[in-house]
Amino acid sequence: MSDHQNPVSVPVSVPGCPYSVIIGRGLLADIGTRLSLSPHTQRAAVVASGVPATRYAPVVVEALRSSGLDAELVEVPDGEEAKTLATVEHCYERFAGMALGRDDVVVAVGGGVVGDMAGFAAASWHRGVALVQVPTTLLAQVDSSVGGKTGVNLPSGKNLVGAFHQPKAVVIDLDTLGTLPERDRVAGLGEVAKYGFISDPEVLRILEEAPDDAIAAGPGVVDDLVVRGIRVKAAVVSADEKEAGERALLNYGHTVGHAIEAVGGYARYRHGEAVAIGMVFAARLSEALGSASPGLADRTERVLQGLGLPTGGVTATREELWQYMRRDKKARKGVRFVVCSTPGNARLVEQPPEQLIDKLLDSLR
Ligand SMILES: NC(=O)c1ccc[n+]([C@@H]2O[C@H](COP(=O)([O-])OP(=O)(O)OC[C@H]3O[C@@H](n4cnc5c(N)ncnc54)[C@H](O)[C@@H]3O)[C@@H](O)[C@H]2O)c1
Ligand SMILES: O=C(O)C(=O)C[C@@H](O)[C@H](O)[C@H](O)COP(=O)(O)O
Ligand SMILES: [Zn+2]
């Protein structure tokens, strides 16, 4: 589908700050030529952790230096437990040390954790500097790098602090998936499957027909899945940047998923795994409310299990889960959930009966 000669470009038409998502292979070595930064940009803080900090961020730093920028690696602690204000503060201190100014740029190289955390650092440093996303996990390539949701977790809940801050560009180099461990490839497929339930049923067909190819994440099936996912995400955020309506559908499976992550201290589950369990809950809720025809929940479990994603085994009590679900950012008078009627069609429901929610939470054990 795409290589460094012919990358695919998907436009994100957010009013006032449109940008492109460039998807291809071998894109990092000349990334500097792919970004249209301000002519006043002098410095770039390249934020990364873990394997991307040693393997991909140095390539990005070198490429930006070749383009004339004063680029520095800002290494941060790795993993969901490090998606905190303390890590953001560490970034601020490094930005201060390199005199990162208003015309300069933050480049996030890594998974969704680094993208969200460094994105929030960019949104708040000097009240907002330019951001470029270079996602290196499947989850970040198909979801988190696009749309401008940035932020960090608190012990009291997931992504409770943050800002909408759109990137200037997103550069997806699919070759980086070659070093991604299987657990993270599979977790990313949780968000891929989500697009099948809320918008593009063809995604589910692909996951059902070729689960092993999807898990392998080699060239071919995964390229198609990333482009399909990004097209859905770009269309949704272009229509509803700040989640006044339709964007909430991207939260399918997340009300329970985020609660499961938080109860586990952000250490037990990958985000995509927790969302998978949350989608089983959402499908059962959809059926129980008569919003979906019978069979949706069974199909959900089959697809997710076929990919090696968890569909139950939750040890948290319903009281623990409620504590976090009540703080969900979609909540109004009460907790709101995204339900699915048929694959490709989803909507929000207000405050389903608490007894029903309790019964369905128990069913996730
Ligand atoms: N902003 C959004 O719209 C949005 C959307 C979905 C998810 N998220 C957030 O994304 C986060 C989850 O992201 P994630 O699943 O990418 O996890 P992650 O960022 O923790 O990455 C998982 C692990 O993979 C490593 N890694 C990254 N790229 C690698 C590579 N190419 N090779 C080897 N190792 C690599 C990381 O260092 C990390 O150890 C959650 O915090 C979630 O809330 C945000
Ligand atoms: O982009 C969105 O909007 C999403 O909801 C995408 C989700 O996959 C993602 O996990 C997001 O960070 C959740 O947002 P939140 O507002 O519930 O924290
Ligand atoms: Zn998500």
Confidence at residue 5, expressed as pLDDT on a 0 to 100 scale: 59
Report the amino acid identity of residue 154: L
Distance from the alpha carbon of residue 67 to the mean position of ligand 2, in angstroms: 34
Using the atom order of ligand 1, give the atom closest to the CA of residue 187: 15
Phi-psi region of 334 (alpha: psi -120 to 50; beta: other; left: phi over 0): beta
Q: Is 158 annotated as a binding residue?
A: yes
Beta strands 149-154 and 157-164 are: antiparallel
Confidence at residue 257, expressed as pLDDT on a 0 to 100 scale: 98
- Distance of alpha carbon 291 from alpha carbon 199, whole angstroms: 16
- Distance of alpha carbon 216 from alpha carbon 289, whole angstroms: 37
Confidence at residue 86, expressed as pLDDT on a 0 to 100 scale: 98
Q: Are 278 and 253 in contact (CB under 8 A)?
A: yes
Is the C-beta atom of 329 inside 6 A of ligand 2?
yes
**The whole model's pTM is what?**
0.98
- Distance of alpha carbon 330 from alpha carbon 348, whole angstroms: 10
Confidence at residue 8, expressed as pLDDT on a 0 to 100 scale: 98
Q: Which residues of the chain have pLDDT under 70?
A: 1-5
Q: Is 160 annotated as a binding residue?
A: no
Angle value at C-alpha 297, between 293 and 302, nearest 5 degrees: 130
Question: What residue ranges do the domains of the chain occupy?
Answer: 8-179, 189-363
Is the C-beta atom of 53 inside 6 A of ligand 1?
no
Counting ligands in written order, which one lies closest to the CA of residue 140? 1
State which H helix or E strand residue 108 sits in.
Answer: strand 105-110
Confidence at residue 181, expressed as pLDDT on a 0 to 100 scale: 98
Positive or negative torsion for Cα 340, 162, 270, 191: positive
Is the C-beta atom of 301 inside 6 A of ligand 2?
no
Residue whose CA is at the smallest distance from ligand 2 atom 14: 251
Using the atom order of ligand 2, give the atom closest to the CA of residue 251: 5
**CATH number for the domain running over 8-179:** 3.40.50.1970
**Regarding the domain delimited by 189-363, which CATH topology (the fold level of the hierarchy) does it fall under?**
Dehydroquinate synthase-like, alpha domain (1.20.1090)
The set of catalytic residues is 127, 149, 191, 233, 243, 247, 251, 254, 258, 271
Is the C-beta atom of 255 inside 6 A of ligand 2?
no
Q: What is the pLDDT of residues 205-244, one digit of tens each?
A: 999 999 999 999 989 999 999 999 999 999 999 999 999 9
Is the C-beta atom of 72 inside 6 A of ligand 2?
no
Confidence at residue 4, expressed as pLDDT on a 0 to 100 scale: 52
Report the amino acid identity of residue 124: S
In DSSP notation, 283-314 reads HHHHHHTTSS-TTHHHHHHHHHHHTT------
